[in-house]
């Protein structure tokens, strides 16, 4: 970690005007109220949004350093405080953002000349959480969005669905693709899947068209894309995924080759986790029950085991979600909001079926391990300053999601996704039964000739989603507070009206309620008389100490 020992002396006169002519006064980085829409290069759009909000809202003041005064600047510590608060309140990043990640982002700001030090230096300069002075350059550069390759637009989902013969013409994905990942569908599984899909009513049907295995694979591709498009609620998927990136064999394998717990079983064990990694993961996932007498018990044993697991995953050639699906998962990150949680789970469930089976298996086992570890109160401390959950997210986020080219917000986006996966991995990584049913029904339509032109009248039984009207983060917080206060007020009324509760016990509960929720209690009992009416004796609300009764003066005359 780079450090800086430069110090400064700060004074805080009224805020000055920023270099931007359109800069609003005060800390107005209200990025939490906006949402970057789905689309290509969403990480770059988020970068531009963060830099714009930081430049518009970061307070600028006069500072003194080495007996000199500098105007329109800020200290590194002030920037960390302001940006840290902004990121944690942004739905795209969330409360899992750490202060150290905020410092790393500011260093990238300095590297990309979003900011510069007080002498105009940037690029190779350093930034730390201290009183070093920085300012905004005359022009704050925004990253330009690359032009999308025409081939991706040509093969978009929209054109894919309109092509009459698309389902049966796109047959360039053969079993060689599986062999590149060391996978082969067993003949037993293929026959089992074919029997489930195309044998229904086949013997008694007349004039049924013959459906090949390749036709079945293309229907799987089409159905999962339709479901994904419906779940995300977008008019087209062309901006987030190329249909040729969807390999039906992977989906079929991930759907059928699973254990009782839903974990993918690999036929080629060479692509599986090494035995020593699996043993180490079981040891920490089941701690301390798995720590039998055969395992060493020296101090720091758990840290060494964890470091062994981390080294393996950090050494993988690509992230578990693969480089080619980076844009897809980054776009789903915008669904990770409280009122869209169900949509995010359904979308991630579909996207994780697209992964190569070895990647899906590793992801399943990793999420199970880190989720158990973060919830295990008996787990020894694995880091001197970081809690277990924060350590899991910090260690494995880049192993799960990152871009093949350097993206400035990778750490923050990956941490947000891993945090959500930890909390919902059981639902996200289970096999959706509705997908198998949809494919069966669609193939039945094709088999009976109900669809003459594949692609024009494709019939797929889609799930029905009903969405509430989207509200802003501020409205959501206000509704959350008002709902909670209404429930607390109702609790107070229940205590008051409970006739079976002894008077002494009722006094005790009300006194405790008054201590915990003084404002709600005061609203119910605004005066001492209203409280006295409940108990019929002396009120328990004490008179304010500053209100003194006037003494009664007696006449000296008799």
User: What are the distances in angstroms from CA 212 to CA 27, 190, 194, 215, 223?
Assistant: 62, 12, 9, 5, 17
pLDDT at position 233: 82
- Which residues belong to CATH 1.10.10.10 in the chain? 48-135
User: What are the distances in angstroms from CA 76 to CA 37, 49, 110?
Assistant: 31, 20, 11
Residues near 25 by beta carbon (within 8 Å), at least 6 away in sequence: 15, 17
Domain 48-135 in CATH 1.10.10.10? The answer is yes
Burial class (CB in 10 A: 0-12, 13-18, 19+), 175: exposed
- Which residues belong to CATH 1.10.555.10 in the chain? 214-431
Point out the residues of the chain with pLDDT beneath 50.
1-33, 149-187, 190-191, 194-206, 452-460, 462-467, 543, 547, 558
pLDDT at position 450: 57
Written as six digits, the tokens of 348 are: 């991630």
Which contacts qualify for 271-277: CB closer than 8 Å, 24 or more apart?
Answer: 271/181, 271/182, 271/183, 271/357, 271/358, 272/358, 272/361, 273/312, 273/361, 273/362, 273/365, 274/312, 276/308, 277/308, 277/309, 277/312
pLDDT at position 513: 84
pLDDT digits (tens, 9 = 90+) for 363-383: 999 999 999 999 998 889 999
Alpha-carbon span 330 to 413, nearest angstrom? 7
pLDDT digits (tens, 9 = 90+) for 65-123: 888 899 999 999 999 999 999 998 887 888 888 899 899 999 999 998 999 999 999 98
Q: Of the candidates 204, 239, 243, which has an alpha carbon nearest to the alpha carbon of residue 226?
A: 243
pLDDT at position 16: 36
In the CATH scheme, what is the code of domain 214-431? 1.10.555.10
pLDDT at position 19: 40
Written as six digits, the tokens of 30 are: 């209200």
pLDDT at position 156: 39
Alpha-carbon span 322 to 330, nearest angstrom? 12
Between β-strands 133-135 and 9-10, what pairing exists: parallel, antiparallel or unpaired? Answer: unpaired
Instruction: Give the pTM.
Output: 0.64
């Amino acid at each position: 970690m780079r450090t800086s020992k430069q110090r400064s002396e700060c004074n805080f006169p009224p805020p000055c005007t920023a270099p931007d002519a359109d800069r609003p006064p005060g800390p107005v980085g209200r990025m939490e109220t906006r949402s970057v829409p789905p689309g290509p290069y969403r990480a770059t759009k988020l970068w531009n949004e963060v830099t714009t909000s930081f430049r518009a809202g970061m307070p600028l003041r006069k500072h003194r350093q080495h007996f000199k005064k500098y105007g329109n600047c800020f200290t590194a510590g002030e920037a960390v405080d302001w940006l840290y608060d902004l990121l944690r309140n942004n739905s795209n990043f969330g409360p899992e953002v750490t202060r150290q990640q905020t410092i790393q982002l500011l260093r990238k700001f300095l590297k990309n000349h979003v900011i510069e030090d007080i002498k105009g230096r940037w690029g190779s300069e350093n930034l730390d959480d201290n009183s070093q002075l920085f300012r905004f350059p005359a022009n704050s550069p925004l990253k330009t969005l690359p032009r999308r390759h025409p081939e991706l637009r040509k093969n978009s989902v929209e054109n894919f669905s309109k092509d009459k013969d698309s389902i049966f013409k796109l047959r360039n994905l053969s079993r060689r693709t599986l062999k590149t990942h060391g996978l082969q569908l067993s003949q037993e599984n293929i026959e089992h899947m074919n029997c489930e899909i195309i044998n229904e009513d086949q013997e008694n049907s007349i004039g049924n068209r013959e459906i090949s295995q390749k036709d079945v694979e293309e229907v799987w591709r089409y159905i999962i894309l339709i479901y994904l498009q419906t779940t995300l609620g977008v008019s087209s998927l062309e901006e987030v995924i190329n249909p040729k990136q969807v390999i039906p064999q992977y989906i079929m394998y991930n759907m059928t080759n699973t254990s009782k717990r839903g974990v993918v079983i690999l036929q080629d064990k060479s692509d599986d986790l090494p035995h020593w990694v699996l043993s180490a993961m079981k040891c920490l996932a089941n701690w301390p029950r798995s720590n039998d007498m055969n395992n060493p018990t020296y101090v720091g044993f758990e840290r060494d085991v964890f470091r062994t697991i981390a080294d393996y995953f950090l050494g993988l050639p690509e992230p578990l979600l693969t480089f080619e699906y980076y844009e897809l998962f980054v776009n789903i990150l915008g669904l990770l909001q409280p009122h869209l949680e169900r949509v995010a789970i359904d979308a991630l469930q579909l996207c994780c079926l697209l992964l190569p089976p070895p990647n899906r298996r590793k992801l399943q086992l990793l999420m199970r391990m880190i989720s158990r570890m973060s919830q295990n109160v008996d787990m020894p401390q694995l880091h001197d300053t970081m809690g277990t959950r924060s350590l899991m997210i910090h260690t494995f986020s880049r192993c799960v999601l990152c871009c093949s080219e350097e993206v400035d917000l990778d750490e923050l986006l990956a941490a947000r996704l891993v945090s959500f996966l930890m909390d919902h991995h059981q639902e996200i990584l289970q096999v959706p039964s509705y997908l198998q049913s949809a494919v069966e029904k669609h193939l039945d339509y094709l088999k009976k000739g109900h669809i003459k032109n594949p692609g024009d009248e494709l019939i797929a039984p889609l799930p029905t989603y009903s969405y509430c009207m989207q509200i802003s983060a501020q409205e959501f917080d206000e509704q959350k507070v008002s709902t909670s206060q209404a429930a607390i007020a109702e609790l107070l009324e229940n205590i008051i009206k409970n006739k079976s509760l002894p008077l002494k016990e009722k006094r005790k509960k009300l006194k405790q309620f008054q201590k915990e929720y003084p404002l709600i209690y005061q609203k119910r009992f605004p005066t001492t008389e209203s409280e006295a009416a409940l108990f019929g004796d002396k009120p328990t609300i004490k008179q304010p100490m500053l209100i003194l009764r006037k003494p009664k003066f007696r006449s000296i005359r008799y």
